[in-house]
Structures are given as C-alpha cells and as structure tokens.
Amino acid sequence: MTQRINYVQQSPELFKKFFELSNLLKDSTIEESIRDLVSIRASQLNGCGFCLDMHVKEARLHGERELRVHHLATWRESTLFAPRERAALAWTEVLTRLPEHGVPDELYERVRTQFSEKELSDLTFEVMAINGWNRANVAFKTVPGSSDKAFGLDKANLV
C-alpha cells in the first residue's frame, strides 16, 4: 500500500488540535482498557489498518490479553468481556455505524446502566475521535506500522 498524501504535513494545525483532543481523552473518566477496546473495535468496523495496528500494539503495551483482542470481532459471543465493556462496545458499534433512525432507546438505556452521564459523554467523545482518525487514515491510505517508532509502539514486539 502506498500512502496518498501525508495529512499531518498538509494540515499541521488541524492535526495538532485533533491530536490534542485524543490526548485529553487519556484523562477522561473512561478506563484505559475500555478505550483500547473501543479503538480496536471501531477500527475493525471501519477497515482502518493503520489504526487497528496502532491500537492493538497499544493494548498490548497496556497489558491487554491477546485472546481478548482476538475475540473483539465476535465480542457478543465471547465470555471474556464484562458488562461495562460490552456496553462500551455496543455504544461504539452503534455510533460508528449510525442506524438510519438513530440510536435505539433500548440500547441507550442498557448502556446507561453501566456508565454515568459524564462517562457516557466521555465515551462518546472517544468513539467520535477514533472514527475521525479512522476516516483520515483510510482516506489517505496511511501505512500500518509507519509511525511505530514515533509513538513507541515498536516496544510491543509485534511484527
């Protein structure tokens, strides 16, 4: 795969602001393990190889179990995810795919049993951010692994 354009170089100020949002999310009410799962699952749904590669490596560096990463594509059938994680994954999927008639009330109510209003707001920003990154990297065919050294992901020892 050949990258189309380097959007970081072409729009440095916009990239900087969007990157700042992503960094702010690290201090949100959503725990790191759920942020990792959300980023991986949205990247799977969007077919973003760059982000999938990056977030799998980050999850490994954060101590995520390899089997859980493998089970993300079929999380509904897996016994490896807690109710709070399942709610986050369901929220990620509905916001990533945005059904024609919006988010169903039943799903919203189910997710609200696991997240406070503040947490749900923070989770929504997390999903918004990863979907934005996915769209930029899919549009411009950013090469998976091309930023590993810059982000310290080479330490994940995944080749």
User: What are the tens digits of pLDDT across the range 100-145?
Assistant: 999 999 999 999 999 999 999 999 999 999 999 999 999 999 999 8
| pLDDT, mean of residues 35-39 | 98
Cβ-contact 72, 24 below 8 angstroms: no
Measured distance CA(14)–CA(88) in Å, rounded: 28
For the domain bounded by 12-144, which CATH number is listed? 1.20.1290.10
Give residue 149's pLDDT: 85
Residue listed under structure tokens 């189309």: 4
